[in-house]
Amino acid sequence: MPIYEYQPTTEAHCDHCRNGFDVLQKLADDELECCPQCDAPIARRITAPNVQAGQSHLLKEKHFSEKGFTQYRKVEKGVYEKTAGKGPDMIKDQ
């Protein structure tokens, strides 16, 4: 669910909406039109998304094994070799 930022559109505002506020909303939820505390008119601001990078450690073989998954890599057509986890060492297409 995205976090939306709202700002007051008039001079009438409360301490809650004076500097703007954030709301966690579903994509299907309607945009808020007034402050939930003082009913002052507000507008949603366009802001940059928060993108997380640097999650390569989640793809390491040790991580798969710890979480109970098995990872295979393709060796040749129809042949897969286990690289992490429990399960058969090779899977071959018959």
CA nearest to 45, candidates 3, 5, 17: 5
- How far, in whole angstroms, is CA 13 from its chain's centroid? 32
The span from the first CA to the last CA of the chain, in angstroms, equals 44
Residue 80 has pLDDT above 90, yes or no: yes
E strand or H helix at 8: strand 3-8
Which pLDDT score is estimated for 13? 85
Which pLDDT score is estimated for 58? 65
Q: Please give the model's pTM, rounded to 2 decimal places.
A: 0.50
Residue 94 has pLDDT above 80, yes or no: no
CA distance 5 to 7: 7
CA nearest to 20, candidates 54, 79, 3: 3
